[in-house]
């Protein structure tokens, strides 16, 4: 089939510039190279490059060319609903044809579910899937396995997995002092939760590497585990990983489906490609690249150096470039001083990729805030003070869009290792800014984030309700402070082991039942268990009775009550500073950013400043160690947020030996 040629005129470019750029601004040659390109290519773009704006320009222009020959469609995929909504908000009113059939704009998950997984599972396999949820699927699978684990008709399958793990469990037991049976059981649980039944070759496999665990259909253990998997699917649950396996199965069973999708979608654009998981990557490659024979134009857009999606940091690159990628090196966000530092944290420089700061509105050097260990609580106030000084001197010009943020990798750590909460102890990590404080217990069970397909939102709400009850009853921890969720769980684990295990079991069942619509039953069960919780602290239901009984809460007058931090915001000098994680600010632009060092993993060098001391001296990264590579990706993302001021907080005890090598022509050193 001859390829349809898309001709873009100067007028087309001017039309897109008028809608997307500030008055008088134009797309530069790097962005124009991408906008004009309609071949299968990869685009590697630096932070703050405006790559999404360049993609939107291409889509605006394509809208004027619709319908395409043979009424073929355009497929635009991103990872989050928020990103999809941004596309709709920015160009939706200008692109009525683009947002209707035969085109599709959505998340990768929604595309796979709609076009492959649900039709295949419902029509071919005969299951009625109600929920795609990895945590729920794994917990259900573990429960099903526990039912058959010692049954003779299935040849006691626990013995099979015990044999696989006991040797390693004995070694860990010797090293840690934990019972070998406890360790072995934990390994078995992890193993079972990672199993799936492959409907293509009818083998029991491991998600992690697709290795075969059981293959003989007459084997009793095989029969039992297969039944476990089928029971979970019959209950309407499937994991994200399994859904993508089913997508590949669909293409295997219906080979024409691949060609149907290629015929349907002439152009395929995937934004934030670096966030792709392996199963997502493989599925899209199979359909839309098809070993180079695809009828679709497949453009992959992102920055491979920013692969920190879903709470993980990818070091083994999922995204492999095809030939030399197009690059956008110019960052309109970053100044030359900040870009020079960020460039030292670049892991992948293929295609001549480098971070080139084009923002000429700021020439402030990055600031290194060196604090003594006992002064850690003064770091954020010092950051605020520095900002205030630059506002007063007009080196920072603030507007309604100005954002000031403190960010770190790890939320909180046990023992003497540092997390964000050590800099700001009221820090409450939130996955969204959905309301988390309600006037009665029942509201916590009904007002959770239902868009997230995991148990996490309802679990958090239940725990938030319980710590609110403790707060109302004026129950505090050993440091005479109100409990956080983590502190409550740690307290129960340390002092009431039996009650802790019962509580965790109940918590899981409450979450499952809320998802199943049994909110009233969960409410009654929770009410029955609250007295037991309060009894552990020598208390009974008193001030919290109205809150629990679902009437409007009458506030209790207390001295020194500590309110919940409002969205993790602090204000020292008449402007707000938000405390957050690096993961939560990815893609954002700040006026000023403070990156605080935190501890990740175990060992001697667990802090970014220890692993990346050479890069802070403006040397390029060349280390091959896994955690060092993860640390440099986090720093790359975090350091590339601000337009005006970047501050990095380091502990003097850890960094003192490196201070003499810091180039003061490139850094401003601030001591606390």
- What does the pLDDT look like over 228-262, one tens digit per residue? 999 999 888 899 899 999 999 999 999 999 999 99
The answer on pLDDT for 553 being more than 60 is: no
Q: What is the pLDDT of residues 14-52, one digit of tens each?
A: 999 999 999 999 999 999 999 999 999 999 999 999 999
Tokens 């059939």 — which residue?
101
Radius of gyration of the chain (CA): 27
The answer on pLDDT for 284 being more than 80 is: yes
The pLDDT-based confidence of 415 (bands split at 50, 70, 90) is low
The answer on pLDDT for 431 being more than 60 is: no
Q: What is the pLDDT of residue 451?
A: 56
SS3 (DSSP) at 80: coil
Q: What is the pLDDT of residue 251?
A: 93
Q: What is the pLDDT of residue 433?
A: 41
Tokens 């669909």 — which residue?
250
Q: How far apart are CA 554 and CA 556, in angstroms?
A: 6
Across 344-373, average pLDDT: 93
Q: Of the given ranges (183-192, 290-299, 498-507, 619-628), which has the lowest mean pLDDT?
A: 619-628
- CA within 13 Å, CB half, 610: 14
- Express as a percent the part of the chain with pLDDT over 90: 60
The pLDDT-based confidence of 375 (bands split at 50, 70, 90) is very high
Residues 6+ apart with CB under 8 A from 375: 672
Closest C-alpha to 267, from 504, 466, 74, 485 = 74
Q: By the 8 A CB rule, do 284 and 301 touch?
A: no
Collect contacts of 100-104 with beta carbons under 8 A, ≥24 apart: 101/73, 102/71, 102/72, 102/73, 102/264, 102/265, 103/73, 103/74, 103/75, 103/76, 104/73, 104/74, 104/75, 104/76, 104/265
The answer on pLDDT for 667 being more than 90 is: yes
Look at phi and psi of residue 330 and say left if phi exceeds 0, alpha if psi is from -120 to 50, else beta. beta
Q: Of the given ranges (206-220, 333-347, 562-576, 643-657), which has the lowest mean pLDDT?
A: 562-576
Q: By the 8 A CB rule, do 596 and 622 touch?
A: no
The answer on pLDDT for 413 being more than 80 is: no
At the fourth CATH level, which superfamily is domain 10-114+249-328?
A: P-loop containing nucleotide triphosphate hydrolases (3.40.50.300)
Across 586-607, average pLDDT: 85
Q: What is the mean pLDDT of the chain?
A: 88
Better-scored residue on pLDDT, 610 or 49? 49
The answer on pLDDT for 603 being more than 80 is: no
Closest C-alpha to 334, from 667, 648, 645 = 645
The answer on pLDDT for 457 being more than 50 is: yes
Question: Domain 356-428+565-671, what fold?
Answer: Rossmann fold (3.40.50)
The answer on pLDDT for 544 being more than 60 is: yes
The answer on pLDDT for 167 being more than 80 is: yes
Q: What is the pLDDT of residue 559?
A: 36
| Residues of the chain by 3-state class (helix, strand, coil), percent to 5 | 50, 15, 40
The two domains 10-114+249-328 and 356-428+565-671 share their CATH topology (first three levels equal): yes
Q: What are phi and psi of 407, to 5 degrees?
A: -135, 150
Domain spans of the chain, in order of start: 10-114+249-328, 134-238, 356-428+565-671, 441-548
Token pair for residue 283?
A: 């599925």
Q: How far apart are CA 617 and CA 660, in angstroms?
A: 10
Q: Of the given ranges (47-56, 429-438, 663-672), which has the lowest mean pLDDT?
A: 429-438
The answer on pLDDT for 347 being more than 60 is: yes
The pLDDT-based confidence of 560 (bands split at 50, 70, 90) is very low
Q: What is the pLDDT of residue 555?
A: 33
The answer on pLDDT for 132 being more than 90 is: no
Better-scored residue on pLDDT, 278 or 50? 50
The edge-to-edge listing of strands for the beta sheet with 265-270 is 104-107, 73-78, 265-270, 297-302, 42-45, 326-328
The answer on pLDDT for 435 being more than 60 is: no
Q: How far apart are CA 465 and CA 463, in angstroms?
A: 5
Q: What is the pLDDT of residue 55?
A: 97
Q: What is the pLDDT of residues 45-98, one digit of tens each?
A: 999 999 999 999 999 999 999 999 999 999 999 988 888 989 999 999 999 999
Across 494-512, average pLDDT: 90
Tokens 């390829």 — which residue?
3
Closest C-alpha to 68, from 295, 280, 236 = 295
239-274 CB burial, b ≥16 within 10 A, e <16: bbbbbbbbbbbbbeeeeebbeebbbbbbbbbbbbbb
Q: What is the pLDDT of residue 411?
A: 79
Q: By the 8 A CB rule, do 615 and 629 touch?
A: no
**What is the model's pTM?**
0.73
The answer on pLDDT for 315 being more than 80 is: no
The answer on pLDDT for 439 being more than 80 is: no
Across 2-15, average pLDDT: 88
Token pair for residue 399?
A: 């507007």
């Amino acid at each position: 089939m001859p390829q349809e040629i898309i001709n873009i005129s100067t007028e087309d470019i001017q039309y897109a510039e008028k809608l997307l750029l500030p008055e008088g601004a134009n797309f530069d040659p790097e962005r124009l190279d991408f906008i004009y390109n309609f071949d299968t290519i990869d685009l590697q773009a630096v932070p703050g490059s405006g790559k999404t704006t360049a993609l939107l320009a291409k889509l605006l222009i394509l809208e004027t060319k619709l319908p395409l020959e043979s009424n073929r469609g355009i497929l635009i995929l991103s990872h989050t609903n928020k990103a999809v909504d941004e596309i709709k908000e920015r160009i939706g009113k200008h692109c009525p044809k683009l947002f209707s059939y035969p085109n599709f704009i959505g998340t990768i998950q929604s595309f796979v579910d709609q076009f492959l997984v649900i039709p295949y599972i419902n029509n071919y396999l005969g299951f009625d899937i109600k929920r795609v949820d990895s945590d729920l699927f794994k917990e259900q699978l573990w429960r099903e396995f526990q039912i058959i684990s010692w049954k003779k008709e299935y040849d006691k399958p626990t013995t099979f997995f015990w044999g696989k793990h006991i040797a390693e469990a004995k070694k860990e037991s010797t090293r840690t002092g934990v019972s070998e049976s406890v360790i072995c059981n934990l390994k078995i649980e992890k193993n079972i939760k990672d199993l799936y039944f492959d409907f293509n070759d009818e083998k029991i496999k491991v998600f992690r590497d697709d290795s075969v665990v059981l293959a003989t259909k007459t084997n009793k253990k095989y029969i039992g585990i297969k039944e476990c998997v089928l029971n979970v699917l019959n209950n309407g649950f499937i994991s994200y990983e399994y859904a993508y396996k089913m997508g590949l199965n669909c293409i295997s069973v219906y080979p024409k489906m691949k060609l149907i999708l290629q015929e349907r979608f002439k152009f395929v654009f995937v934004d934030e490609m670096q966030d792709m998981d392996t199963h997502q990557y493989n599925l899209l490659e199979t359909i839309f690249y098809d070993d180079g024979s695809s009828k679709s134009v497949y453009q992959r857009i992102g920055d491979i150096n920013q692969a920190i999606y879903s709470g993980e940091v990818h070091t083994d690159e999922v995204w492999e470039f095809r030939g030399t990628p197009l690059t956008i090196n110019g960052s309109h966000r970053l100044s030359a001083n900040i870009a020079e530092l960020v460039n030292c944290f670049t892991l992948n420089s293929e295609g001549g990729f480098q971070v080139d700061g084009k923002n000429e509105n700021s020439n402030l050097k990055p600031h290194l805030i060196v604090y003594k260990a006992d002064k850690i609580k003064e770091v954020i106030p010092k950051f605020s003070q520095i900002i205030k000084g630059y506002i007063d001197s007009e080196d920072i010009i603030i507007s309604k869009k100005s954002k000031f943020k403190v960010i770190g990798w790890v939320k909180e750590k046990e023992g003497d290792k540092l997390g964000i909460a050590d800099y700001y102890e009221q820090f409450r990590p939130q996955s969204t800014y959905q309301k988390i404080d309600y006037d009665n217990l029942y509201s916590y069970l009904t007002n959770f984030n239902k868009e997230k397909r995991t148990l996490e939102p309802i679990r958090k709400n239940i725990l938030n309700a319980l710590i609110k009850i403790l707060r109302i009853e004026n129950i505090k921890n050993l440091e005479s402070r109100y409990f956080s969720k983590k502190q409550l769980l740690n307290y129960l684990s340390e002092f009431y082991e039996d009650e802790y295990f019962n509580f965790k079991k109940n918590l899981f069942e409450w979450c499952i039942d809320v998802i199943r619509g049994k909110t009233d039953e969960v409410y009654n069960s929770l009410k029955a268990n609250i007295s037991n919780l309060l009894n552990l602290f020598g208390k009974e239901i008193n001030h919290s009775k109205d809150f629990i009984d679902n009437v409007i809460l009458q506030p209790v007058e207390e001295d020194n009550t500590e309110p919940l931090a409002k969205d993790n915001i602090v204000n020292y000098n008449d402007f707000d500073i938000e405390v957050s994680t690096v993961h939560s600010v990815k893609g954002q632009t700040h006026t000023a950013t403070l990156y605080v060092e935190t501890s990740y993993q175990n060992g001697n060098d667990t802090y970014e400043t220890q692993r990346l001391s050479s890069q802070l001296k403006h040397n390029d990264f060349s280390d091959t160690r896994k955690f060092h590579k993860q640390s440099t990706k986090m720093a790359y993302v975090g350091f590339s947020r601000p337009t005006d001021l970047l501050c990095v907080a380091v502990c003097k005890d850890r960094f003192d030996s490196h201070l003499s090598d810091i180039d003061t022509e490139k850094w401003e050193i601030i001591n606390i």
